Amino acid sequence: MRRALPFLLRRLVLLVPLLFVVALGTFVLLRLGGQDPSAMLAGPTATADEIARLRAQYGLDRPLPVQFLIWLGRVLNGDLGHSWISNRPVLAELVDRAPASLELLVLGVLIGALVGVPVGLISALRRGRGFDHAARLISLLGFSVPTYFLGLALLLIFFYVLEWAPPGMGRLSLMLDPPPRVTGSFLLDALFAGRWETAQSAAAQLVLPVASIAILCAAPIIAQTRAIALSVLSSPPIAYAEAQGLPPRTIARIALRNAATPVVTFIGAELVGLVGSGSLIEYVFAWGGTGQFGLDAIVKGDFAVVQGYVLLLAVFSVVVFLAVDLLVLVLEPRAGRA
Amino acid sequence: MSLLEVSDLHTHFVTRDRDDRIRTARALNGVGFTLQKGRILGLVGESGAGKSLTVTSILGLLHPPARVVAGRALFQGRDLLAMSASERSALRGNRIGFVVQSAKASLDPLARVGEQLVRVQRAHARRSRREAMERAEAILAAVSIPDPKRRLAAWPHEFSGGMAQRVVIALALVNEPDLLIADEPTTALDVTVQAQILDLLSAAVRGRGIGAIIVTHDLGVVAQYCDDVAVMFAGSVVEQGPVAEVFPRPMHPYTQALLAATPERLRLGAGLRLGGPPPNLYALPEGCCYRLRCDRSRDVCRSAPPLAQVGDQRAACHFAREPAEAEA
């Protein structure tokens, strides 16, 4: 792992300009969006005078570059500003909600990958046969179903008709109190605290939203794994392994090793790409994570929250890709040299 | 007993076209040749003649839609085409070493060279890792790779094309095979390296007294390194025999045309007689496949040509025994 440290350092240095560009882009786009938060904050009965006072109070009457620099200066001091709606610090709001979203995304993608990768591999090995056709059909269905519809359909079937799942009303039954916060995941925290009933409820609430995300990401993972496996199986190293009379198990291991890097990279990209769909799933299940919170802030013009949320997403994607790159470094002797 | 005796080998590609009609490409049409222990056979012909396909058919390395539909390939008296996949797999890389065309693309990119050499040994013999590693080092030294001990730990991408080709030769030789098959072993290399690799390859074969097949489109390679030659055209061997007999007195018009097209002959003023596309494998001409390009073609060529034999030299042509027309 002696290659890993300089690699990490280089990536961390690159993070600085990336975050700056993301912050600037978000800031400009928000201001170009034409929303006037002061009017919304002041309410429908406010006079022009009151609105002007609010604008001055929030610094919205200053030139845009000045606004940006003020915001940037505060961010560098660890202050992401306050939500205009809840009046709480943005950072605290995000930190409170992030574990809920992470729990959903990571569990969903993990299950999606655990199902999608083997299905894609078997599909490639049985190309053109029954299993392959079935897998491709299911994958196509997963591709074509709209995100919010998937969540609602699962609720309709498993809550309303079959009554197997709890209603999509948040992360815990309304009858229970949240466990003391350690990780922020209700399921883990309840387990740590030994509150089995709470843990059970948290797990039950997780099932449908996690299943939605797993279905959403399994579809492309199946398709991509199948394509990668097919191209590896028809590649010269595999043909050469056969020409050397290596046993089928050795050949399978060579093929798997060669397919691992692109598959892992793709799953990482899926994890980042699913943040958007994840927000919609959060809405459907009233999950109350950062995704739902961020979407809400965009709709309501809560500028500081939107900026903080987008920065958080940028950091999240960098962290995920960093983790992927570290994995690739382990899998791939040629990586880390370029 | 011959080391390898291939006879009447037919390989077809069966596909369906857009109208779902079955189309059959007759890529090999009765290939036959013989290789004796201790000799090197050059398999020559133009692109698409079926040289590589012959080799992959014999070794059982075909994938659909290609399929061997008939023929025998007796290796040390056992028919490779009749044995089970696992029996064939036990011979490949073990009794039959295979040298691929593009070494750099074919080596497993994720395994160190030493590991690949150990892998092929332990696939075919009970051998400790340590012992296999020692043999791996010895064989790398034998193919003139400098500093073999250190190179065992190198990755394939750290080798140049020529060095990677040496590694592939080492992989083919490490189990001390009885037959070495090299499929265009130097096509991907530049000219100076080509000669080194071929010298190495033929020295390895001669030194071990084993048999070898070199697939090539280069007549110069055949002249310099091979004892025997089999000339392929449109999926069959049109002429074969010892190089010393075939090259000075080619009997088949295609061999004559090939030899006349070498730079030396062209410079001497012999006209270029080689022209035209290879025949359509989906609809091969009746009789002799070469008749559409042959300047000696007559009506009789619409019937299958007989195999004429003079000494050890054999050619499939109606006019094989007649002297070639005065060279233009």
Task: Provide the residue ranges of all domains of chain B, joining segments of one domain with +.
Answer: 4-95+175-316
Least Cα separation, residue B123 to chain A (angstroms): 6
Q: In what order do the strands lie in the sheet with B22-35?
A: B22-35, B4-16, B66-75, B78-79
Interface contact B110-A331, CB threshold 8 A: yes
pTM across the whole model:
0.81
Q: Report the chain A residue with the minimal C-alpha distance to residue B172.
A: A244
**CATH 1.10.3720.10, domain A96-331, yes or no:** yes
- Whether the per-residue pLDDT at A304 is higher than 90: the answer is no
pLDDT value at residue B268? 63
CA–CA gap between residue A72 and residue A56 (Å, rounded): 19
- Whether the per-residue pLDDT at B72 is higher than 50: the answer is yes
Tell me the residue type at A331. Answer: L
CA–CA gap between residue B176 and residue B142 (Å, rounded): 12
Model confidence over A64-86: pLDDT tens digits? 888 888 888 888 888 888 888 88
Instruction: Note whether A240 contacts B: Cβ–Cβ < 8 A.
Output: yes
Least Cα separation, residue B112 to chain A (angstroms): 9
Chain A residue numbers with beta carbons less than 8 Å from the beta carbon of B155 are 333-334
CA–CA gap between residue A109 and residue A268 (Å, rounded): 9
Q: Report the chain A residue with the minimal C-alpha distance to residue B119.
A: A246
- Whether the per-residue pLDDT at A103 is higher than 80: the answer is yes
Q: Report the chain B residue with the minimal C-alpha distance to residue A331.
A: B110
Chain A residue numbers with beta carbons less than 8 Å from the beta carbon of B92 are 242-245
Backbone φ and ψ for B131, nearest 5 degrees, come out as -65, -40
CA–CA gap between residue B201 and residue A293 (Å, rounded): 69
Model confidence over B285-328: pLDDT tens digits? 777 878 778 777 777 788 788 787 888 888 888 877 776 554 43
pLDDT value at residue B270? 56
Least Cα separation, residue A121 to chain B (angstroms): 19
pLDDT value at residue A128? 84
- Whether the per-residue pLDDT at A243 is higher than 90: the answer is yes
Chain B residue numbers with beta carbons less than 8 Å from the beta carbon of A243 are 59, 61, 92-93, 98, 100
Average pLDDT (A280-296) is 89
- Whether the per-residue pLDDT at B263 is higher than 80: the answer is no
Select from A233, A240, A329, A331 the residue whose CB has the most chain B CBs within 10 Å, as the one to mutate to test that interface: A240
pLDDT value at residue A338? 42
Q: In angstroms, how far is the first alpha carbon of chain B from the final one?
A: 43
Confidence of residue B120 (pLDDT cuts 50, 70, 90): very high
Least Cα separation, residue A331 to chain B (angstroms): 8
Contact between A304 and A80 under an 8 Å Cβ cutoff? The reply is yes
Interface contact A246-B91, CB threshold 8 A: no
Average pLDDT (A100-116) is 93
Alpha helix ranges (H) inside chain A = 4-32, 37-42, 48-58, 64-76, 90-125, 130-144, 147-154, 186-193, 196-233, 236-243, 248-284, 290-300, 303-331
Q: Report the chain A residue with the minimal C-alpha distance to residue B157.
A: A334
Confidence of residue B220 (pLDDT cuts 50, 70, 90): confident
Residues of B engaging A, defined by a Cβ cutoff of 8 Å: 59, 61, 63, 88-94, 98, 100, 102, 105-112, 119-120, 123-124, 155, 157, 171
pLDDT value at residue B23? 86
The helix or strand, by DSSP H or E, that contains position B129, with its residue range, turns out to be: helix B129-142
Interface contact B119-A239, CB threshold 8 A: no
Tell me the residue type at A89. Answer: P
Closest CB from A234, A250, A258 relative to B110 = A258
- Whether the per-residue pLDDT at B237 is higher than 80: the answer is yes
pLDDT value at residue B245? 87
CA–CA gap between residue B54 and residue B42 (Å, rounded): 13
% pLDDT > 90, chain B: 39
Average model confidence (pLDDT) across chain A: 86
Please state which of the ranges B5-9, B240-244, B312-316 shows the lowest mean pLDDT.
B312-316
Model confidence over A125-158: pLDDT tens digits? 888 888 999 999 989 988 888 888 888 888 888 8
CA–CA gap between residue B261 and residue B209 (Å, rounded): 33
The candidate with the shortest Cα–Cα distance to A171, out of A196, A146, A212, A208, is: A208
- Other C-beta atoms lying within 10 Å of the C-beta of residue B224: 14
- Whether the per-residue pLDDT at B110 is higher than 60: the answer is yes
Closest CB from A237, A245, A258 relative to B89 = A245
Peptide bond preceding A333 in cis form (omega within 30 of 0)? no
pLDDT value at residue B327? 44
Contact between B239 and B67 under an 8 Å Cβ cutoff? The reply is no
Report ipTM for this prediction.
0.88
The angle subtended at Cα A86 by Cα A81 and Cα A87, nearest 5°, is 45
Instruction: Note whether A2 contacts B: Cβ–Cβ < 8 A.
Output: no
Residue B273 tokens, joined: 């007689």
Q: Which residues pair with A82 in a beta bridge?
A: A89
Chain A residue numbers with beta carbons less than 8 Å from the beta carbon of B157 are 333-334
Least Cα separation, residue B61 to chain A (angstroms): 7
Parallel, antiparallel, or unpaired: how do β-strands B313-316 and B66-75 relate? unpaired
- Whether the per-residue pLDDT at A42 is higher than 80: the answer is no
Average model confidence (pLDDT) across chain B: 86
How many inter-chain contacts (A to B, CB under 8 Å) are there?
68
DSSP assignment of B173-207: HTT--SEEEEESTTTTS-HHHHHHHHHHHHHHHHH
Confidence of residue B274 (pLDDT cuts 50, 70, 90): low
- Enter the DSSP assignment of A89: B
Q: Could you tell me which CATH number the domain at B4-95+175-316 has?
A: 3.40.50.300
- Whether the per-residue pLDDT at B136 is higher than 70: the answer is yes
pLDDT value at residue A70? 87
- Whether the per-residue pLDDT at A46 is higher than 80: the answer is no
Contact between B35 and B41 under an 8 Å Cβ cutoff? The reply is yes
Interface contact B123-A333, CB threshold 8 A: no
Instruction: Note whether A239 contacts B: Cβ–Cβ < 8 A.
Output: yes
- Whether the per-residue pLDDT at B194 is higher than 60: the answer is yes
Average pLDDT (A232-258) is 92
Contact between A93 and A101 under an 8 Å Cβ cutoff? The reply is no
Residue B51 tokens, joined: 């040289």
Closest CB from A236, A244, A332 relative to B120 = A244
Average pLDDT (A309-321) is 90
Model confidence over A157-198: pLDDT tens digits? 888 888 787 887 888 877 778 888 888 888 888 888 888 888
Tell me the residue type at A118. Answer: P
pLDDT value at residue A322? 87
